[in-house]
Amino acid sequence: MIVCCANQCAYCGSSIVSGQRWVREKIYDPALNGRAPSYHRYHAEPFALQEGSCWEKHQMEQHSRPPATVLL
């Protein structure tokens, strides 16, 4: 998912407003040939009536996927 704004959650797409806790994930893109990393931001706390935060849901998705294959 591509995030257009620095204060937008990469998981749900909602704004991360002042005062909300959030997590920043550093992303390295090998296609950028050594350029500075980019960052994704996620809500760190669940919304009302939700079981997990956007960050927790993102982590669960990452761990349930098979590892990426790198072709050289």
Q: Are 40 and 25 in contact (CB under 8 A)?
A: yes
Q: Which residue has the tokens 């040939």?
A: 33
Q: SS3 of 55, please?
A: helix
pLDDT tens track of the chain, all 72 residues? Answer: 444 566 899 999 999 999 999 999 998 877 766 677 889 999 999 998 888 999 999 999 888 766 655 555
Residue 14 and residue 43 in contact, taking contact as beta carbons nearer than 8 Å: yes
Rounded CA-CA distance 16/33 in Å is: 30
Start-end of H helices in 1-72: 54-64
The verdict on pTM exceeding 0.85 is no
**Encoded amino acid at 46, one letter:** P
